[in-house]
Amino acid sequence: MALLVHVLACAFGLGSWVAVNGLWVELPLIVNSLPEGWDLPSYLTVIIQMANLGPLLITLMHKVRPGRLNERTVIYALLCVGVLSCVLLAFFWDRTSVVAGASHSTAFFIITFFLSLVDCTSSVTFLPFMMQLPAKYITTYFIGEGLSGFVPGVVALAQGVGMAKCVNSTQGTEGNHSSGSVWFLQTVYLPPNFSTEAFFFILTAMMCISLAAFVALNRLHLSSDENLMEGSAKSVCSGLDNPAAEIDGNDRTCQNEEGSHTRPPAHSVYQLTFIYFLVVWANGATNGVLPSVQTYSCMPYGNLAYHLSAALASVANPVACTIAMFFQNRSLVFLGVLALLGTGFGSYNMAMAAMSPCPLLQRSVAGEVIIVLSWLLFTGTLSYLKVMVGVILRDHSRSALVWCGAAVQAGSLVGSVVMFPLVNVLMLFKAGDFCNTKCPL
């Protein structure tokens, strides 16, 4: 029974962020087909932030009408919307319409909003549901949540990327006479191992697995030694993983077998300010600023570099979170150094985007390797940082963790809102063409 619950908890967590993660790793193929082109990621960052309306409404319901919201019904609705949206995405992702005199990916944006609404709202519904179960299943749920980013990244790597090649083409300038034709190079993308539609159907299958797991968890009768009250008591002291631990009436204090009490180390106002600054900075960079310009940073090096950067970065996030589960370093000095390293890698990525379409070491293997590694290390270092500051604030107090969530959203929102006009209004970043862009040696 316990093994079955572990499997179901992991499968349930699989549906938490699979849709948004899947969209990001598929962008290297989508970006060449939709009219927004290289600006497409900047639109996605804003749409995802708009979807935070879902968590806001759930939070308000808990405050205004406590106990009236049926979380299980909400989760059922979210997972059903997620499945339906993934199916619609497979059929309509490339449909466009004219808005304000220009062609836009209206269907893709609308469906993406609903997928983002599902994933963002899962943060305030899935975990509270899992908190009703014994604490040992929470870890399994987080493994499933990590797989929601890992699996789409692996699938994208297996899908491959449409390699670009340059072919000679002609364009008539005076009627159809060959004497008036102009020769030029045209970029042609070879097809990947399987289509974008097939990739979205794989995401649909993952959402269906999550929905089926949730149905099974609701219908499964837990044995008496795993009742909900016992699970709630253990979850308070989940960091101890001690079956003999008891609640001391304080959400920050637990009693161990010897009867002694353990408290997390206190932090000064300056230390807490620094910690919250790290939260805002890391999330602003990873969720708003850098994703908006990833195409400009990677595409000048070719589709393969962009594909590997997006897929491996998606894999790096859950790997870093897994490392943080087993190797924890709460030193603020260490976390500060890690933030500087992540910022350094992010700065290199931003610099290459600013230099687009002619970044450093373009059309060289060294340039491709460096940009892929830079994105991988940028995501990995700041992902570990985000996990560790979350652990510190979780052990500090419940209210500190609430403010941590607010800081996460504030950083992500500011990053995406700042970058959108820079990319789409001021047009500070320039797109290029793989075959026809002439860069100085």
- For the stretch 417-437, pLDDT in tens is 999 999 998 889 998 776 777
Cα 439 to chain centroid distance, Å, stands at 33
Decide if pLDDT at 280 tops 90: yes
pLDDT of 102 reads 87
Decide if pLDDT at 235 tops 60: no
pLDDT (average), residues 218-240: 46
Task: Select from 345, 343, 355 the least CA-distant residue to 375.
Answer: 345
For the structural domain made of 264-441, what CATH number should be given? 1.20.1250
Q: Residue 129 in contact with residue 67, Cβ under 8 Å?
A: no
Q: Is the dihedral of CA 419, 424, 426, 432 positive or negative?
A: positive
Question: Roughly how many angstroms between the first and final C-alpha of the chain, as a whole number?
Answer: 65
Please indicate whether residue 162 or residue 14 has the higher confidence score (pLDDT): 14
Domain ranges of the chain: 1-162+194-226, 264-441
H/E segment holding residue 341: helix 332-354
| Alpha-carbon distances, residue 178 vs 174, 181, 183 (angstroms) | 9, 5, 10
Question: What residue has token string 């975990």?
Answer: 127
What is the C-alpha separation between 421 and 52, in angstroms, rounded?
20
Please indicate whether residue 172 or residue 146 has the higher confidence score (pLDDT): 146
pLDDT of 419 reads 94
State the helix-helix crossing angle for 18-30 and 106-122, rounded to 10 degrees. 150
pLDDT of 171 reads 60
pLDDT of 149 reads 85
Q: What are phi and psi of 262, to 5 degrees?
A: -120, 135
Domains 1-162+194-226 and 264-441 fall in the same CATH topology: yes
Decide if pLDDT at 116 tops 80: yes
For the structural domain made of 1-162+194-226, what CATH number should be given? 1.20.1250.20
CA angle 273, 276, 278 (to 5 degrees): 110
Decide if pLDDT at 227 tops 80: no
Task: Select from 292, 285, 286, 284 the least CA-distant residue to 39.
Answer: 292
